[in-house]
Amino acid sequence: MGSYDPVRLALHALFVSVLALCLNTAGGDMKIADKTLVVWCAPSNLDHRGAGVFGVEDLQEFDSIVLGEVRPRVWMAGSHLFRRTEAAQDSWPTETVASGTMVQVAVTWQGTRITLYREGQVVASYDRPQRDYGEGLRVSMGMRHCNAAGVPPTGAFGGVIDEAQFYAEALSAAQIAGLRPGGATPVRPLARWTFVDGSGRDEMGCFGPAVLRNGAEIRDGKLYLDGKDDYLITPVLRAPQVLYPATLAAQWAALATDPQVLAHQASRQRLAADPYRPAVHFAPPGGMMNDPNGPCFWQGNYHLFYQWVAPGGGPLLWGHACSTDLVNWRDLPVALRPDTEGNCFSGNTLVEPERVIALYHGTGSGNAIATASDPLLLNWEKHPANPVIPAVHTAADGSPYRIYDPCVWKDARGYWALSGTYKDGDFVKDCRLAEQLFFSTDLAHWEYRGVFVEDGFFTERGEDGAVPYVLPLGAEHLLLFASHRRGAQYYLGAIEPSGERFRIRRHGRFNYGPIGVGSLHAPAAFIDPQGRCIAFFNVREGRPATEWSDVMTLPRVLSLEADGTLGIRPAAEVERLRADPRAAAARELPANAEVVLDTRGGKSIEITAEIDPGAAREVCLSVLRSPDGAERTDIRVFFQTEHNWFGQYGQQRPCVLMVDGTRASLRDDVQARPPESGPLLLGAGEPLRLRVFVDRSIVEVFANDRQCLTLRVYPSRADSDTLALRVQGAAARLAALTVWDLAASANLAAAP
């Protein structure tokens, strides 16, 4: 793995050439329009409804040979949302073959003409708009489709398949009539499955070895399907992943001319004109970014992976960037693409001395493993047993378990993995959080060990435990997760000595308002070489879709404080972005009056402020403020002023931190969102210490290293760059305030 030897490169080049020949295209440009599907099958019964026998899909749409969907016992050409399906089937013959008897069924697509054959005879012929199949092309047997448009497998077929053939052209009626199982073919098929060697091997070599799911079997040279939910699916058909050289210098040299990297750079240069694109926060090179995945440190570089949909759409991939300092990021080629799954959803990484392991969720499949060991983690190799933790039949209460976003860690006994899911109810509505635990000694064979943690007390009904991360934190463990209802959260607690149960001591949230509208979303974290727990979160858009979406937070350090609470600080490396400091003079802040600071603000700045609130009931720092105050984002802290707060909270003063973006933009198309607010406790006599990062359309507010709130805002005015302070109820004192410009990070260069 990761080698760069001439023999492997020669084999790689040969395979690319064969693949291009199979597709009748240059360089593996996978576009198939005209095609033919032929299958010899014996239905177990003729009462199937909408049963897919043999089909092709590319994650967006599908075409399939289907039995009994529009009319019972009638063969038809099924298609995604019936786009290429003929509804008028009254004159089509019904199938009468006896159970266990083989029948040949074929469909050709030639231009707009679709023709259905049974035993070499035309059954129907009609016109529909043609559909080209491109990247993500795969074949399935036993289901109408497996992952088209990200939808789980549907349309189960029960029976036996003797042989299946796939041609990248439309065969004639005479050619179809002359076909026999195991016999000669009139032209070279794109793919052919005879099952004679007991495997799901494509004899033409264009598709990789097929995967049998949920009990599908190959025996006696045939594929057996039970008609419940078992099926066969092939890996995605595409040119093999580029193999990068083995040394760091050679990898950087190769990346200097890499098409993906160059495309990312060109896209970033073009998108830089967007006034809402951050200067220093990591944003995608274009397209849609979602969860951060598996950040880690490997051979001198920090690596950040993220869910990514490329411009123009397609499946979810793992985008990839690296950095030597956590703030200056360079784009790398896509790390993980789907093959036998629909999408590469979230997961994490585990760094071992000789390799990095990625455990991720493959939609419609299960949890899968890939490994890499080269300097920049460019050459990922999927585990041959994927999905190593397959999806299983799940009852309404969630038993035995559901398979979803995983994480992996290791101790002296072996590997542990969580699947972050839910139980006892409906997703998002009334379910309870459940993290399911698995154990393995070899990464290939996993044993289910039960529920690692379940909750319905700290979290609400309807919350799940997606994207879990289990990490040591001081003398305890941190379990990060996100629910699809309330966003990013954490537990502090301990793993029991058995290693199979987590005891919750403390629960907290990183997002307090609605998710999906300019808010913090999903977490990812790792322990760096300094022993710090470094976390990233993605932050959703609050404006209509554009050519890119979502932003990552700056790296945060999470720590276990002496009082047992969670500390939250920006990583020290963020200070490298500081430029042009300017300080405001210490001063008294009069009650109930706004003080507009003459210290220059900006739209990409860091602010540090220390304020003694005295008896004030509110302190407000306004950023991204227009001179007339009509447009502004307010960072507000409300203080408990009753005399009994020491008795209720010991020697701590309860406060509420708020980021109020209700007047942040005069644009009509920005989605309305209530202020984001969260709890904050200050010690008796402790000043309020704020550290605020404003970066064009994202605001991150750290308070006393105990709380952090995040919000997306979209100021419409070019002059919305001033700062102001206001206190309510009583006077306060500004002890110190410094503003820095955030120097644009030097990310996205092809080489260091």
User: pLDDT at residue 20 above 50?
Assistant: no
- Weakest-pLDDT range from 59-68, 72-81, 587-596, 636-645: 636-645
Let me know if residue 476 belongs to a domain.
yes
CATH no. for residue 95?
A: 2.60.120.200
How much is the pLDDT for 13?
41
Q: Which domain holds residue 724?
A: 576-742
User: pLDDT at residue 749 above 50?
Assistant: no
Q: What mean pLDDT do residues 39-60 have? A: 93
590 and 484 co-located in one domain: no
Could you tell me where the beta strands, DSSP code E, fall in 484-552?
A: 487-495, 502-509, 520-527, 533-539, 548-549, 551-552
343 burial level (CB within 10 Å; 0-12, 13-18, 19+): buried
User: Measured between alpha carbons, how far is 380 from 354 in angstroms, rounded to an integer?
Assistant: 14
User: Measured between alpha carbons, how far is 483 from 39 in angstroms, rounded to an integer?
Assistant: 44
User: pLDDT at residue 739 above 90?
Assistant: yes
CA angle (703, 568, 502) in 5-degree steps: 135
Cα 256 to its chain centre, rounded Å, is 27
How much is the pLDDT for 30?
60
Q: How many CA atoms lie within 13 A of 63 on its CB side?
A: 27
User: Measured between alpha carbons, how far is 48 from 50 in angstroms, rounded to an integer?
Assistant: 6
In tens, the pLDDT along 436-482 reads 999 999 999 999 999 999 998 999 999 999 999 999 999 999 999 99
User: pLDDT at residue 135 above 90?
Assistant: no
How much is the pLDDT for 209?
86
How much is the pLDDT for 322?
97
Beta bridge partners of 591: 727
Let me know if residue 337 belongs to a domain.
yes
- 3 state DSSP class of 10: helix
32 burial level (CB within 10 Å; 0-12, 13-18, 19+): buried
Let me know if residue 240 belongs to a domain.
no
How much is the pLDDT for 559?
98
End-to-end CA gap in the chain: 25
User: Measured between alpha carbons, how far is 328 from 519 in angstroms, rounded to an integer?
Assistant: 24
User: Measured between alpha carbons, how far is 20 from 32 in angstroms, rounded to an integer?
Assistant: 12
Which residues, other chains included, contact 266 with Cβ-Cβ below 8 Å and sequence gap of 6+? none
- Measured from the Cβ of residue 580, the count of other Cβ atoms closer than 10 Å reads 12
User: pLDDT at residue 295 above 70?
Assistant: yes
- 3 state DSSP class of 92: coil
488 and 537 co-located in one domain: yes
Which of these, 598, 595, 600, lies nearest to 611 by C-alpha position?
595
In tens, the pLDDT along 603-638 reads 999 999 999 999 999 999 999 999 999 999 999 999
- Residue 261 dihedral angles phi and psi, to the nearest 5°: -65, -45
CA pseudo-torsion sign 644, 648, 649, 650: positive
How much is the pLDDT for 407?
97
Q: What mean pLDDT do residues 405-412 have? A: 97
State the pTM of this model.
Answer: 0.86
Strands 587-589 and 652-660: unpaired
User: pLDDT at residue 16 above 50?
Assistant: no
Which residues, other chains included, contact 143 with Cβ-Cβ below 8 Å and sequence gap of 6+? 52, 55, 153, 154, 155, 156, 157, 231
- Measured from the Cβ of residue 120, the count of other Cβ atoms closer than 10 Å reads 14
User: pLDDT at residue 410 above 70?
Assistant: yes
User: pLDDT at residue 644 above 80?
Assistant: no
Which of these, 244, 91, 221, lies nearest to 164 by C-alpha position?
221
| Structural contact between residues 192 and 185, judged by C-beta atoms closer than 8 angstroms | yes
Choosing from 170, 198, 233, the residue where a domain stops is 233
How much is the pLDDT for 752?
62
400 and 278 co-located in one domain: yes
Let me know if residue 666 belongs to a domain.
yes
Which of these, 207, 37, 195, 51, lies nearest to 137 by C-alpha position?
207
Which of these, 493, 427, 436, 438, lies nearest to 464 by C-alpha position?
427
548 and 619 co-located in one domain: no
Which of these, 225, 222, 199, lies nearest to 211 by C-alpha position?
199
Let me know if residue 752 belongs to a domain.
no
pLDDT band at 240 (very low <50, low <70, confident <90, very high): low
User: Measured between alpha carbons, how far is 567 from 556 in angstroms, rounded to an integer?
Assistant: 10
Q: What mean pLDDT do residues 9-36 have? A: 53
293 and 324 co-located in one domain: yes
User: pLDDT at residue 10 above 90?
Assistant: no
How much is the pLDDT for 663?
96
485 and 373 co-located in one domain: yes
User: Measured between alpha carbons, how far is 490 from 482 in angstroms, rounded to an integer?
Assistant: 8
469 and 346 co-located in one domain: yes
Beta bridge partners of 681: 654
pLDDT band at 347 (very low <50, low <70, confident <90, very high): very high
User: pLDDT at residue 17 above 60?
Assistant: no
pLDDT band at 87 (very low <50, low <70, confident <90, very high): very high
How much is the pLDDT for 18?
44
> What type of residue is 389?
I
pLDDT band at 1 (very low <50, low <70, confident <90, very high): very low
Indicate the number of domains in the chain.
Answer: 3
Let me know if residue 241 belongs to a domain.
no
User: pLDDT at residue 744 above 90?
Assistant: no
Check residues 545 and 188 and name the one with the higher pLDDT.
188
Instruction: Please write down the HEC assignment for all residues of 677-699.
Output: EEEEEEECCCCEEEEEEEECCEE
- What percent of the chain lies above the pLDDT cut of 90? 82
| Structural contact between residues 53 and 65, judged by C-beta atoms closer than 8 angstroms | yes
| Structural contact between residues 136 and 338, judged by C-beta atoms closer than 8 angstroms | yes
20 and 96 co-located in one domain: yes
How much is the pLDDT for 710?
98
- Measured from the Cβ of residue 342, the count of other Cβ atoms closer than 10 Å reads 26
Choosing from 531, 549, 570, the residue where a domain stops is 570
User: Measured between alpha carbons, how far is 473 from 531 in angstroms, rounded to an integer?
Assistant: 9
pLDDT band at 662 (very low <50, low <70, confident <90, very high): very high
Average pLDDT, the chain: 91
CATH no. for residue 292?
A: 2.115.10.20
At 324, list the tokens: 């030597």
How much is the pLDDT for 214?
85
In tens, the pLDDT along 570-589 reads 999 999 999 999 999 999 99
556 and 589 co-located in one domain: no
pLDDT band at 365 (very low <50, low <70, confident <90, very high): confident
531 and 422 co-located in one domain: yes
55 and 73 co-located in one domain: yes
Choosing from 544, 570, 596, the residue where a domain stops is 570
Let me know if residue 751 belongs to a domain.
no
At 15, list the tokens: 């395979």
How much is the pLDDT for 241?
66
How much is the pLDDT for 168?
94
348 and 208 co-located in one domain: no
Beta bridge partners of 478: 471, 492
Let me know if residue 21 belongs to a domain.
yes
